[in-house]
Structure 1
Amino acid sequence: MTHHFTHETRVPQPREKVFAWHERPGALTRLTPPFGGGPDQVRQAPSDGIKPGSEARLGVSVPGTFGTVHLPWTAEHGEWEPPHFFTDRMVNGPLGEWEHRHVFEESPRGGTVVRDEVTVRPLPQWAGKLNDLGERAMTPQLERIFAYRDRQLREDLAFHDQHDGPRLTIAVAGSSGLVGTQVCALLETGGHTVLRMKRGATTGEGVIGWDPARGLLNPRDLEGVDVVIHLGGQSIVSRFTEQKKREILDSRVDSTALIVRAMGQLPAEKRPRAFVVSSAVGYYGTGRGDEVLTEDSSSGEGFLAEVCREWESAAHGAAAHGVRVVNVRTGLVLSPSGGLLRAQLPLMEAGLSGPLGGGRQWQSWIGLDDMASAIAHLALTEDAEGPFNVAAPNPQRQKDFAKTVAGVLHRPAVVPTPLAGPKALLGAQATEELVAASHRVDVSKLLGTGYRFRHEDLRSCAGHLLGRTG
Structure 2
Amino acid sequence: MAQQFEYETRLTQPRDEVFAWHQRPGALPRLTPPFGGGPDQVTEAPTDGIEPGSRVKLGVSVPGTFGTVHVPWTARHGDWDPPHYFTDRMERGPLGEWEHRHNFEETPEGGTLVRDQVTVRTLPRVAEKASGLSDKLMRGQLQRIFAYRERQLRGDLEFQDQHRGPRLRIAVGGSSGLIGSQVCALLETGGHEVLRLERGGTTGDGVIGWDPEKGLLNPRDLAGIDVVLHLGGSSIATRFTRKNKEKILHSRVDSTALLVRAIGQVPEQQRPRALVVGSAVGYHGTDRGDEILTEEQPPGAGFLAHVCAEWEKAAHGAEVFGVRVINVRTGLVLTPSGGLLRPQLPLMTAGLSGPLGGGKQWQSWIGIDDMAGAVAHLVLSEDATGPYHVAAPNPVRQKDFARIISGVLNRPAVVPTPLAGPRALLGKEATRETVAASHRVDVSKFLDTGYQFRHENLRECAEHILGRTA
1:147 corresponds in structure 2 to: 147
2:122 corresponds in structure 1 to: 122
CA distance in 1, matches of 2:365, 2:324: 26
1:328 corresponds in structure 2 to: 328
Instruction: Map 1:180-329 to 2 at 5 A.
Output: 180-329=180-329
Instruction: Map 1:96-135 to 2 at 5 A.
Output: 96-124=96-124, 134-135=134-135
Measured after TM superposition, the shift of residue 109 of structure 1 is 3.0
Measured after TM superposition, the shift of residue 10 of structure 1 is 0.7
Q: Which amino acid aligns with 1:258?
A: L
Measured after TM superposition, the shift of residue 51 of structure 1 is 0.8
Structure 2: unaligned runs, 5 residues or longer: none
1:422 corresponds in structure 2 to: 422
Measured after TM superposition, the shift of residue 428 of structure 1 is 1.4
CA distance in 1, matches of 2:180, 2:36: 19
Structure 1: unaligned runs, 5 residues or longer: none
Q: Which amino acid aligns with 1:230?
A: H
Instruction: Map 1:51-70 to 2 at 5 A.
Output: 51-70=51-70
1:176 corresponds in structure 2 to: 176
Write the deviation string for residues 11-61 of structure 1: whole angstroms up to 9, x where unpaired.
110000000000000100000000038998111111111111011110111
Write the deviation string for residues 378-413 of structure 1: whole angstroms up to 9, x where unpaired.
000111110000000000100000000000000001
Q: Which amino acid aligns with 2:210?
A: W
- Residue 393 of structure 1 pairs with residue 423 of structure 2: no
CA distance in 2, matches of 1:179, 1:172: 11
CA distance in 2, matches of 1:455, 1:24: 25
2:162 corresponds in structure 1 to: 162
Q: Secondary structure at the match of 1:326?
A: strand
Q: Kindly indicate whether the alpha-carbon contact (under 8 Å) linking 1:37 and 1:336 is maintained by their aligned counterparts in 2.
A: no
Q: Cα RMSD over matched residues?
A: 2.0
- Residue 368 of structure 1 pairs with residue 368 of structure 2: yes
Q: Which amino acid aligns with 1:50?
A: I
1:88 corresponds in structure 2 to: 88
Q: Secondary structure at the match of 1:305?
A: helix
Q: Kindly indicate whether the alpha-carbon contact (under 8 Å) linking 1:37 and 1:66 is maintained by their aligned counterparts in 2.
A: no
1:445 corresponds in structure 2 to: 445
Measured after TM superposition, the shift of residue 425 of structure 1 is 1.7
Q: Which amino acid aligns with 1:422?
A: P
CA distance in 2, matches of 1:411, 1:154: 30
Q: Kindly indicate whether the alpha-carbon contact (under 8 Å) linking 1:354 and 1:399 is maintained by their aligned counterparts in 2.
A: yes
**CA separation of 1:128/1:411 partners in 2, compared to 1, >3 Å: closer, same or farther?**
closer
**CA separation of 1:386/1:128 partners in 2, compared to 1, >3 Å: closer, same or farther?**
closer
Measured after TM superposition, the shift of residue 71 of structure 1 is 0.7
**What TM-score does the superposition give when structure 1 sets the normalisation length?**
0.97
- Residue 47 of structure 1 pairs with residue 84 of structure 2: no
CA distance in 2, matches of 1:130, 1:431: 39
CA distance in 1, matches of 2:408, 2:459: 7
Instruction: Map 1:72-87 to 2 at 5 A.
Output: 72-87=72-87
Q: Which amino acid aligns with 1:226?
A: D
Measured after TM superposition, the shift of residue 134 of structure 1 is 2.4
Measured after TM superposition, the shift of residue 469 of structure 1 is 1.6
CA distance in 2, matches of 1:446, 1:52: 43
Measured after TM superposition, the shift of residue 124 of structure 1 is 5.0
- Residue 21 of structure 1 pairs with residue 28 of structure 2: no
Deviating more after overlay: 391-400 vs 62-71: 62-71
Give every structure 1 segment of 4 or more consecutive aligned residues whose post-TM-superposition deviation is greater than 3 Å. Answer: 37-40, 124-131
CA distance in 2, matches of 1:37, 1:198: 31
CA distance in 1, matches of 2:69, 2:462: 22
CA distance in 1, matches of 2:425, 2:244: 15
Write the deviation string for residues 265-294 of structure 1: whole angstroms up to 9, x where unpaired.
111111111111000000000220000111
CA distance in 1, matches of 2:359, 2:103: 48
Measured after TM superposition, the shift of residue 431 of structure 1 is 1.3
Measured after TM superposition, the shift of residue 150 of structure 1 is 0.3
Q: Kindly indicate whether the alpha-carbon contact (under 8 Å) linking 1:39 and 1:338 is maintained by their aligned counterparts in 2.
A: no
CA distance in 2, matches of 1:37, 1:380: 35
Measured after TM superposition, the shift of residue 213 of structure 1 is 0.4
Q: Secondary structure at the match of 2:377?
A: helix
Measured after TM superposition, the shift of residue 125 of structure 1 is 10
